[in-house]
Chains A and B, each alone.
Chain A
């Protein structure tokens, strides 16, 4: 890209200077607990008594753990459905709310408001106002003479309501998209208009490639985030992953083993399996990125 092809020298010294705080954090804060959790994965550790090495027992236990396999299924379903939906909603609204309309600030804030609730305890109660037996959704169905049910507490539909809940809080990726859109120089669009390019062409030829690093970022992070999804299921199901394990996310299961069943050794092993799964997905993402993410370097 560069018109000025001067020879770059390696910037090791400057780089390590810039990375100094990060390295310090890695060594002093992150490394210890990560190493400890790895070692604990090969122990039987009930939190109260000292851990006891048990070799690969935790690994063999995973193979026969039906609830774990179920939790994996729930988590994969959730990741594969909710991430694309949420990103599409976020990108669509970000483009709609980017510029050239009255009341943008208002809509942006309004759409972000649900995401502000975060992991508030209130979420559990509020979500019931929509998808509970007496919630808004059932009142809407009543208008058409249909009778609903408690959507959150029916094992057939509980996971879907959590997916909707996740899509509902698309505020974070939306804001990142907005910031990314703002980084695209207006002149590109202006030039394209001069060339007579339509809206769709502009989107395909300018917005998509120039936004691709940000789309990629959102994709990678939302996938990681969705695999670790915990809070919403925890709050909505009261920590149980119910009804009947239908919202038993991987991290929720891991948490229950660790803290409710005093089974922190197994929980640590589970955490490392999750790390392997997420790392594989992320590596896949980075590999695929070479084909579609456009960097200016």
Chain B
């Protein structure tokens, strides 16, 4: 008897603790997003991830805004990528999330579908989106609602080191016609010409962009509209077979070197250290890469497989998004601030292309004159690219796709799994995560 009683009281103690967290999770809704802008003092919290250069620019933009609206103060909370998501998850769990949240495509659905983000449609009075390319704007929709607005867009590209090619007397390929086989051939020439010091290609297989493009070139998609993993195993196996070939034929570095560089920062990559002639990157990373490399880098369109579907396989990837917490007490003011960041040339001239080529076309043309040459090249690349419809937003539960992808790529490169087996395992694991969410 005694035992039963103590067990029950223990249970109620635990229940109390859970009740506390439950309370926190559903307590207090947000303010009125469509209301008037307050004349009283308003305090907003704004959080983002990035490096010190971004922190500086963003703070400048905040200062411009608060000068315009002296009753609004904004505290800018900057974090690095990993800590950012730990901190965001914790604050959301405790119902203490910042008002304005920089959001990534991988996590958008995970937060939106669980009700953590404000439907920006309700804040349309303060946050205008008509200056934004509809195709780009659509990337911020989950279940038909606009939960996030892209800050800027980027596209997948092949970065080539023309200084190296010149040095080895290899012509720069024509990117309007080249195929994956061409890349292998040219890459091998580079590896041979350098005597192994420089490899032709820096292997990829660690970010979702590459898989997306590969699937689209084959006329498939990574996820279907309902959020199921829909890439055919054979297509995915072909992707890994290609990477394995690159490593085995000496076109890309040895697996351990490839994995080492993939895990390091941009500055330590093969492209940045001039040890690989070709590498896949988002076009907006050209400036950072050029600064690190010190040599001539150029953006090329990705090679294709020659199939018809490949023509429209490129797509605009939102660099990142602005979103607002659904529990913000001042959603109207938060929306006003996002509008300022997004749609004013004032802010655009400070932020430039730090968060991608601006998605607002007026801002984009206004800042072109202020851009560095490499940023101009990135903007031009985007303008000349023929893009198809954006892929479906990463489904709720699939935010860990890059970790799963990376692990399978490593298993293929170290030949612990065949490309075929890896493809099946990858699809199964990713689908399980989506189903569990």
Contact = CB atoms under 8 A, between A and B. Distances in A.
B82 interface: yes
Interface residues of A, number: 42
Contact of B89 (A47, A238, A245): A47
A124 B261 CA distance: 12
Given A259-B85, A259-B89, A39 B14 contact: yes
Q: How many of chain B's residues touch chain A, expressed as a range? A: 35 or more
B400 A256 contact: yes
Contact of B410 (A125, A242, A264): A242
Contact of A47 (B22, B93, B263): B93
Contact of A48 (B14, B116, B416): B116
Interface stretch (A1-9, A92-100, A145-153, A190-198): A145-153
Interface string A102-133: 00000000000000000001001100100011
Contacts of B416: 155, 244
Contact of B263 (A40, A238, A245, A262): A238
Nearest to B267: A125
A158 B86 CA distance: 26
Given A50-B26, A262-B110, A39 B414 contact: no
B436 to A, nearest CB: 8
A240 B403 contact: yes
Contacts of A38: 14
Question: Which interface residue of B90, B114, B263, B436 has the most chain A CB atoms within 10 A?
Answer: B263
B107 to A, nearest CB: 9
A33 B93 CA distance: 14
B89 A51 contact: no
B21 A244 contact: no
Q: Is the interface of A mostly helix, strand, loop or mixed?
A: loop
Contacts of B21: 36, 40, 50-51
Interface string B67-97: 0000000000000101001100110110000
A154 B414 contact: yes
B433 interface: yes
Question: Which interface residue of A150, A151, A240 has the most chain B CB atoms within 10 A?
Answer: A150
A183 interface: no
B17 A36 contact: yes
Interface in B255-296: 255-260, 263-264, 268
A237 interface: yes
Interface in A24-61: 32-33, 35-36, 38-40, 43, 46-51
Interface string B15-54: 1011011100110000000000000000000000000000
A153 B92 CA distance: 35
Contact of A128 (B17, B115, B264): B264
A240 B407 contact: yes
A255 to B, nearest CB: 8
A239 B263 CA distance: 10
Nearest to B117: A48
B5 interface: no
Contacts of B93: 47-48, 264
Interface of B: 13-15, 17-18, 20-22, 25-26, 80, 82, 85-86, 89-90, 92-93, 110-111, 114-116, 253-260, 263-264, 268, 397, 399-400, 403, 406-407, 410-411, 414, 416, 433, 436-437
